[in-house]
Amino acid sequence: MTSRGERYNVGSCIGNRLGASLMAVVAFVALLGCGTPVMRFGRHPDVSRLETALQPKVSTRSDVLSVLGEPRNTGGAMLPNHDAPRDMWVYYYEEGSQVDGRRIFLFVFIFEDSYDGYMWFSSLPTKGGAP
């Protein structure tokens, strides 16, 4: 025969397990509702406008600014196909979560005052043929 105190301890143990299980289910459901937050950094450049709105050796720095806006950073470049150093404007955009991150790098080259071409890399999904 068990004493009254032993029955209370068994019931208390079951109550603790039930409470812990209930809390785990509530936490899981709450996390499902929240989803994984997406963080964004920078401004997504419209690379397709480079082909339609700008012409190498014809468009100016001002034209590039009006099409793409202010660059995230500036620098210089001397690639194998360049006969002299170029000014380089850098555009950068990133989006991601704790699970996945995607980004785009766009490098715009300017020689003297003329737009001289671009190079870009992207791991973002495409939208209508352009990132």
Sole residue written with tokens 């603790």: 16
Q: What is the pLDDT along the chain (131 residues), one digit of tens a residue?
A: 555 555 545 455 555 666 666 666 655 555 555 556 788 888 888 888 888 999 999 999 999 999 999 999 999 998 888 889 999 999 999 988 888 888 899 999 999 999 999 998 888 876 544 44
Whole-prediction pTM: 0.65
Residues 28 and 85 sit within 8 Å (Cβ to Cβ): no
Domain ranges of the chain: 1-35, 39-122
Question: Which class is 39-122 in CATH?
Answer: alpha beta
Report which DSSP code applies to 2.
Answer: -
Cα(128)–Cα(131) distance, rounded to whole angstroms?
8
